[in-house]
């Protein structure tokens, strides 16, 4: 008979990566001459990326990569704030972490200012009072005008930058990948972007973002991480503290995948062989020593002896403290009694009132009791010193006052009342390593699935592909064909294995028979937004003839057109100015009565004539009243 093969277990350990502080770079000479090079900041809700837009090879990647969080203790100074990689481990400070984002929109500009300070300082900008470099900054799709106004005010007024350009991160990634694929502009396509807080569907028609038909789905990386944390904490209630959000995010990024057919994949997990082969066992850190597992009889006796000595020392110390208190009280009472013997009755009665006593007999009774207690305490101390180690614990314990019920028994001291087991009995071996393992099975595909089915997380909305179908239905058939021929996936939450195949399968079921579509994944889904913004800044320098070039906002334009102004370009939002309706001026009143009247009468006439369509009878009545 062929021997049955043992299943191969996949055991993984958590990396628990700790970040190190970012170095402070010096400003390169290439970024200062002949003109100041732009600074490109991808202001993401999960991670911030910053670097220079310069043609040199050393600037091909962002210089700074850090999480968009800050930590400052309550009452601490502003200079004591920890930002990004200055926080080596997020978990101990999780309750102090703050971000500038509400979902994907910047709303906390005090923290945003701290982020800018961190970026400019570590990039080596040491100019006093200003940042003499143009800024390329990413923003959310359909960013509210108020948020852009506050951001422009922060950059122009606080940092006095010369130019600012705003763009959408996923559109920068779209155009960067289109350039690398040698697609001729203007491109038409639809961008599926999924980040940390939400996902977006962004249609692009003839090279311009169609903001009227874009949609947002509140299902992304943070919802998947919270869902996975809840699943594992319900599954392993004994390891609640060990299942931290940082470890859950590591599980999500390194061990999860998107099922091409969700129901069919779940059926596969019903098989025990498939489960043993595909389940990931995550090893939690633990201590190999089990309390009380391999303790010999001699060690237990030695532990009892140490505990007995400890109790003796505690009781002796308590007796000494009790004796000192009784002796002090006795000395005070004897001093009061001496006042009576010396004939100082006024002072004696005054001290009796302070002691809450009524007579000299009561004072003498207390003195006799304290003398007896002091004598007994001294005898017990002498007795315990002479017979140390031979008395029982019950004999060593001294009487305690009411309310002083402090337990003297150490909780670590085992009180075994059962007889000792013989040494030849084989004890069952407890596998501590297996107890501290998390079996991550169907959770690997259930958490990424919330992008397509958000209902398990409590979100009452459509999934990503249903929303895409809704967006496509708003276009003509010809436009739909053009859009689905260039479906582009980008964002850090799109990096699950199988995501592209899942989108293709959903499109195949959604589109008409024998229709064509093409799905493309970004080369670097998490970083292509920064690379696209850098390439755009290199191709469109800020200074042009007659003022700022297309896509850039100069300081003069900011002062003239306001902080909400946006200079559009191929990767930007659409600028929709606020139309403030001016109030219609009131028609000049015609004098209806020339007879001089009092102030109250003229006020009544003004009130009547300023009415838009008053009834004729009312006017006549009021005029008659005034003229009379």
pLDDT at 336: 81
pLDDT of residue 297 exceeding 90, the answer is: no
pLDDT at 1: 40
pLDDT in tens, 208-261: 999 999 999 999 999 999 999 999 999 999 999 999 999 999 999 999 999 999
pLDDT of residue 43 exceeding 80, the answer is: yes
Q: Percentage of the chain surpassing pLDDT 70?
A: 81
Residue with tokens 């000192």: 324
pLDDT at 335: 84
**Angle 581-585-588 (CA atoms, 0-180°, nearest 5)?**
170
- pLDDT, average across residues 418-426: 53
What's the CA gap between 352 and 355, in Å, rounded?
5
Buried b (16+ CB within 10 A) or exposed e, 330-363: beebeebbebbeeeeeeebeebbeeeebeeeeeb
pLDDT at 295: 60
Helix (H) or strand (E) holding 627: helix 616-627
Question: Among 58-72, 100-114, 384-398, 557-571, whose mean pLDDT is lowest?
Answer: 384-398
pLDDT at 540: 92
Q: Which two tokens stand for residue 325?
A: 């208190």
On whether the CB atoms of residues 486 and 243 are closer than 8 A, the answer is no
If one compares 53 and 346, the residue with the highest pLDDT of the two is: 53
pLDDT at 148: 96
DSSP assignment, residue 574?
Answer: P
pLDDT of residue 51 exceeding 60, the answer is: yes
CA distances from 574 to 140, 141, 340, 458, 561 (A): 12, 9, 99, 32, 16
- 583 burial via Cβ count (<10 Å: 0-12, 13-18, 19+): exposed
Q: Across 365-379, 509-523, 573-587, which has the greatest mean pLDDT?
A: 509-523
pLDDT of residue 525 exceeding 90, the answer is: yes
CA distances from 540 to 153, 372, 472, 535, 549 (A): 23, 99, 32, 9, 7
Mean pLDDT rounded to a whole number for the chain: 84
pLDDT of residue 397 exceeding 90, the answer is: no
List the one residue out of 407, 414, 458, 433 whose CA is nearest residue 218.
458
pLDDT in tens, 63-114: 999 999 999 888 788 778 999 999 999 999 999 999 999 999 999 999 999 9
Return all residues near 488 (Cβ < 8 A) that are at least 6 apart: 173, 174, 177, 189, 190, 191, 192, 520, 522
pLDDT at 618: 39
pLDDT in tens, 475-522: 999 999 999 999 999 999 999 999 999 999 999 999 999 899 999 999
pLDDT of residue 628 exceeding 50, the answer is: no
Instruction: Give the pairing of strands 519-521 and 487-490.
Output: parallel
pLDDT at 621: 37
What's the CA gap between 422 and 39, in Å, rounded?
75
**Angle 615-617-621 (CA atoms, 0-180°, nearest 5)?**
120
CA distances from 387 to 380, 396, 397, 399 (A): 10, 11, 14, 19
On whether the CB atoms of residues 447 and 228 are closer than 8 A, the answer is yes
Buried b (16+ CB within 10 A) or exposed e, 372-390: ebbeebeebeeebeeeeee
What's the CA gap between 525 and 493, in Å, rounded?
8
pLDDT in tens, 103-137: 999 999 999 999 999 999 999 998 888 999 999 99
| Angle between helical axes of 360-386 and 345-354 (0-180°, round to 10) | 60
List the one residue out of 86, 109, 93 whose CA is nearest residue 20.
86
Per-residue pLDDT band for 301 (boundaries 50, 70, 90) equals: confident
> What is the pTM (predicted TM-score) of this model?
0.72
Per-residue pLDDT band for 422 (boundaries 50, 70, 90) equals: low
pLDDT at 104: 93
CA distances from 57 to 53, 54, 274 (A): 11, 8, 48
Beta bridge partners of 129: none
pLDDT at 412: 45
Per-residue pLDDT band for 466 (boundaries 50, 70, 90) equals: very high
Q: Which two tokens stand for residue 542?
A: 């800020």
Per-residue pLDDT band for 440 (boundaries 50, 70, 90) equals: very high
pLDDT at 272: 94
pLDDT at 580: 63
What's the CA gap between 518 and 178, in Å, rounded?
13
Question: Among 32-41, 194-203, 253-262, 447-456, whose mean pLDDT is lowest?
Answer: 32-41
pLDDT of residue 547 exceeding 80, the answer is: no
Per-residue pLDDT band for 290 (boundaries 50, 70, 90) equals: low
List the one residue out of 523, 495, 493, 501 whose CA is nearest residue 194.
493
pLDDT at 343: 80
Q: Which two tokens stand for residue 515?
A: 């229709």
């Amino acid at each position: 008979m062929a021997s049955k093969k043992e299943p191969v277990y996949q055991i993984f350990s958590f990396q628990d990566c700790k970040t190190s502080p970012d170095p402070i770079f010096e400003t390169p000479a290439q970024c200062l001459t002949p003109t100041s090079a732009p600074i490109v900041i991808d202001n993401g809700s999960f991670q911030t990326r910053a670097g220079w837009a310069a043609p040199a090879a050393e600037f091909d990647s962002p210089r700074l990569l850090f999480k968009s969080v800050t930590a400052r203790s309550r009452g601490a100074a502003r200079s004591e704030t920890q930002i990004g990689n200055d926080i080596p481990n997020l978990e101990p400070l999780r309750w102090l972490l703050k971000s500038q984002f509400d979902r994907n929109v910047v709303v906390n500009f005090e923290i945003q200012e701290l982020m800018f300070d961190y970026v400019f300082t570590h990039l080596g900008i040491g100019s006093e009072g200003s940042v003499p470099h143009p800024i390329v900054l990413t923003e959310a799709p359909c960013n509210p005008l108020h948020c852009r106004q506050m951001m422009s005010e922060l950059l122009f007024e606080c940092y006095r930058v010369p130019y600012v350009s705003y763009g959408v991160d996923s559109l920068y990634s779209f155009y960067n990948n289109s350039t690398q694929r040698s697609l001729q502009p203007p491109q038409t396509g639809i961008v599926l972007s999924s980040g940390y807080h939400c996902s977006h569907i962004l249609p692009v028609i003839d090279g311009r973002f169609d903001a009227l038909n874009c949609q947002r789905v509140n299902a992304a990386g943070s919802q998947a991480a919270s869902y996975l944390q809840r699943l594992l904490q319900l599954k392993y209630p004994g390891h609640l503290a060990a299942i931290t959000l940082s470890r859950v995010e590591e599980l999500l990024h390194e061990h999860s995948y998107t099922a091409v057919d969700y129901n069919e994949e779940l059926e596969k997990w019903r098989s025990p062989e498939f489960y043993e082969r595909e389940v990931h066992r995550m090893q939690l850190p633990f201590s190999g020593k089990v309390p009380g597992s391999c303790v010999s009889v001699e060690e237990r006796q030695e532990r009892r002896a140490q505990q007995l000595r400890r109790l003796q020392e505690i009781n002796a110390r308590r007796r000494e403290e009790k004796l000192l208190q009784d002796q002090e009280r006795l000395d005070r009472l004897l001093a009061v009694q001496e006042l009576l013997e010396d004939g100082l009755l006024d002072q004696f009665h005054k001290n009796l009132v302070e002691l809450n006593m009524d007579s000299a007999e009561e004072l003498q009774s207390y003195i006799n009791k304290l003398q007896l207690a002091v004598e007994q305490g001294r005898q017990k101390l002498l007795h315990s010193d002479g017979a140390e180690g031979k008395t029982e614990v019950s004999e060593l314990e001294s009487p305690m006052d009411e309310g002083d019920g402090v337990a003297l028994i150490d909780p670590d001291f085992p009180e075994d009342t059962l007889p000792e087991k013989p040494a030849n009995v084989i004890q069952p071996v407890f596998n501590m390593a297996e107890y501290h393992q998390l079996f991550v099975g169907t959770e690997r595909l259930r958490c990424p699935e919330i992008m397509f089915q958000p209902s398990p997380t409590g979100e009452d909305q459509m999934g990503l592909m249903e929303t895409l179908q809704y967006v496509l239905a708003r276009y003509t058939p010809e436009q739909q064909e053009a859009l689905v021929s260039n479906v582009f996936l980008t964002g850090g939450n799109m990096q699950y294995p199988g995501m592209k195949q899942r989108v293709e399968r959903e499109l195949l079921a959604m589109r008409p028979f024998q229709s064509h579509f093409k799905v493309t994944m970004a080369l670097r889904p998490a970083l292509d937004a920064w690379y696209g913004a850098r390439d755009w800044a290199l191709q469109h320098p800020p200074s042009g003839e007659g003022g700022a070039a297309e896509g850039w906002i100069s300081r003069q334009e900011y002062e003239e057109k306001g902080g909400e102004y946006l200079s559009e370009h191929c990767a930007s939002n659409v600028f929709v100015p606020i139309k403030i309706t001016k109030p219609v001026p009131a028609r000049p009143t015609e004098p209806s009565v020339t007879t001089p009247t009092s102030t109250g009468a003229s006020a009544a006439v003004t009130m009547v004539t300023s009415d838009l369509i008053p009834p004729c009878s009312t006017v006549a009545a009021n005029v008659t009243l005034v003229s009379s």
